[in-house]
Structure 1
């Protein structure tokens, strides 16, 4: 089912058409085999990077695409509707560039951002640890200053692109203060002492490599620290707001892909002499799938437009992530139901969509954490704000 979109410029419309073309010609022919073989599609990211899709929301003068977040998220959605693992990877890459783009010095940005945003380099984001998932302030990975460098020792869990990335945005402890003792570093992927365990064997997103990354006395030049010592946790948390919108967009795309496949099947499959979509019970199920997906898209784009306007959007980002990922889980489950027994086989992609949807309720902050963020914002109270869109 074609998605109706409102975009701010003709350039954005052309960008979305380019994305759909690449998804159709470059991603769709590879997704089934790569996911079945749990093969990381590094070549696909190079293709997207050369097309300018890996740095869309960042400044053009630094190698980015100069696009507003509402456009970037719709590009992510189009990618994820065809290949969720790649959509997640593009989102994580964008998150790995966020600290340098927002807190790096001009010299740091000019030195590293063009390569990071240009498509040849792929990033990873290291925050969680085996014992510290939803509580990043409990992290133990430590960096000790030694002359003009730091020596990093510890482990980072659940790292998307772990062992595949060209650079890692890493949060580490530089003092014992719980919240103001964490700093942010940009670590090269080929640094001596940096290694990754074998990839996790996951339920879904098997084309996306997730691994524990080890830092065993990794020496990092001091000029690779982003911001001042102790600013790492605010950098991480501000980046997570943007990252949650990325995952929300991926979840919307995944739900749209599941809806499209279910709808196509319902129009072709016949029972009692008519297509099954003509049976009210199933037609209403598809209607609910469409309503939920369009609602999730609207919430995600609302939060993105707040971000683009420079307004607070943390609460709305959490709502978008919560609504979109819960909806993806429901829609993909219902897509399996629409296909019946065929939906439970690997001959059709909807069973894969269902497996992929589950983790979206977990990463970038579990949906329980999103409810905590939203409820705290409600308790605190937020003044009404109205912005005029030029």
Structure 2
């Protein structure tokens, strides 16, 4: 990382830290109870340029390398300490890329500027009740009727699925089976025949996660993203960026757990001295720090590969992203568990960062590609 980029990373990190400490961390418990973050938060984040980081200037964004985007994710996770708030606020980072890469100029102008201003919410809908990780088994179908597509089917576990104004959806078109029959289409959140219901979850409580039912939903044919049958490649390409971002988030959450545990250990008195003076506690903190440092070094290395243009074209980079995601989320899991243990009874109480992160870690290990899928994909990329 050159000096100019390093300075940009430090400045962005400081800005995100202040935003997270002032506008997210104090309100997360209330948002969790409400089951959502306020719409105003999107506009506030947009005003700071956070929603548009990495997007074209033509649509109100700021082109930025992965080094900056990942630094934002790390800082937001570390100081905001809410996966739910991040999932809600940045769901457009998985919903918009297919439109930007493959959608018509008309679609891009219709959707992207409003989302980057914080005036609209974008989501991605891939998973189905009977499909899970098997993307090629998608059953939701879109039939072409004149100048429209008529969509029938179901989607589940959709981040921002209840409130999204625009949903980039994977559907099956034509008669082809398997991956070659999958297409991507844009569905308005207010489309007639679209029924949405919120799902109850273990964590990410302030991120609405929806179950979608589509019964005769009609959308203009021009809302097709790219060509029919090209959706599977779009989805696989989209996953690479999502997994890298999740690795950065996991690092930030691991750091949040470490920060809270260290602060508690320095202040908490037990048996005549601070907890941090106990060898057993110091060793836990060192074990946490060891995993954090290894994750940070690996994230930096893979980020450099991504900024060199290897994220989609280099099999080794794809494999690295997969196993990095596993390593980062395992580090997050270890640090959350250790922090709860160090805080003891207080770590079991709502209101502590580590309690929230302890509940949220599992979705990080599943979402964007479960550990088992990541290992198998890496093995194929490395030709094992």
Same fold (TM over 0.5): yes
Are 1:39 and 2:36 matched, yes or no?
yes
Q: Distance in 1 between matches of 2:358 and 2:209?
A: 19
Q: For the Cα contact (< 8 Å) 1:16–1:74, is it kept in 2? A: yes
Q: Distance in 1 between matches of 2:301 and 2:170?
A: 30
Q: For the Cα contact (< 8 Å) 2:55–2:61, is it kept in 1? A: yes
**Higher deviation after alignment, 86-95 or 253-262:** 86-95
Measured after TM superposition, the shift of residue 84 of structure 1 is: 1.8
Q: Which of the numbers 17, 26, 39 marks the counterpart of 1:29?
A: 26
Q: Which of the numbers 48, 59, 64 marks the counterpart of 1:62?
A: 59
Equivalent positions of 1:1-40 (< 5 A) are: 8=5, 10-40=7-37
Task: Name the structure 2 match of 1:49.
Answer: 46
Segments of structure 1 that go 5 or more residues without pairing to the other structure are 381-390
Q: For the Cα contact (< 8 Å) 2:240–2:321, is it kept in 1? A: yes
Task: Name the structure 2 match of 1:318.
Answer: 322
Segments of structure 2 that go 5 or more residues without pairing to the other structure are none
Q: For 1:379, what is the secondary structure of its paired residue?
A: coil
Task: Name the structure 1 match of 2:190.
Answer: 190
**Higher deviation after alignment, 364-373 or 75-84:** 75-84
Are 1:167 and 2:171 matched, yes or no?
no
Task: Name the structure 2 match of 1:384.
Answer: none
What is the TM-score of this pair, normalised by structure 2?
Answer: 0.93
Measured after TM superposition, the shift of residue 65 of structure 1 is: 1.5
Measured after TM superposition, the shift of residue 242 of structure 1 is: 0.5
Measured after TM superposition, the shift of residue 105 of structure 1 is: 3.1
Deviations 1:8-31 (A, max 9, x none): 154443322221111111112211
**Higher deviation after alignment, 348-357 or 146-155:** 348-357
Measured after TM superposition, the shift of residue 303 of structure 1 is: 2.1
Q: Distance in 1 between matches of 2:9 and 2:104?
A: 29
Deviations 1:271-295 (A, max 9, x none): 2322111111110110111121222
Q: Distance in 1 between matches of 2:193 and 2:349?
A: 43
Q: For the Cα contact (< 8 Å) 1:149–1:221, is it kept in 2? A: yes
Measured after TM superposition, the shift of residue 50 of structure 1 is: 2.4
Q: Distance in 2 between matches of 1:9 and 1:101?
A: 28
What is the TM-score of this pair, normalised by structure 1?
Answer: 0.91
Equivalent positions of 1:263-302 (< 5 A) are: 263-302=262-301
Equivalent positions of 1:67-106 (< 5 A) are: 67-81=64-78, 82=80, 83-106=82-105
Q: Which of the numbers 320, 332, 347 marks the counterpart of 2:336?
A: 332
Q: For 1:55, what is the secondary structure of its paired residue?
A: coil
Measured after TM superposition, the shift of residue 146 of structure 1 is: 0.9
CA RMSD of aligned residues (A): 1.8
Q: Distance in 2 between matches of 1:204 and 1:115?
A: 29
Q: Distance in 2 between matches of 1:111 and 1:42?
A: 20
Deviations 1:120-154 (A, max 9, x none): 21111100000001101111100000111111111
**Higher deviation after alignment, 20-29 or 39-48:** 39-48
**Higher deviation after alignment, 337-346 or 125-134:** 337-346
Q: For 2:179, what is the secondary structure of its paired residue?
A: coil
| Number of equivalenced pairs | 375
Q: Distance in 2 between matches of 1:84 and 1:7?
A: 30
Deviations 1:307-330 (A, max 9, x none): 221112311211221111111111
Q: Distance in 2 between matches of 1:22 and 1:347?
A: 19
Are 1:366 and 2:370 matched, yes or no?
yes
Measured after TM superposition, the shift of residue 246 of structure 1 is: 1.6
Deviations 1:9-63 (A, max 9, x none): 5444332222111111111221122124433433322221222211211222232
**Higher deviation after alignment, 140-149 or 30-39:** 30-39
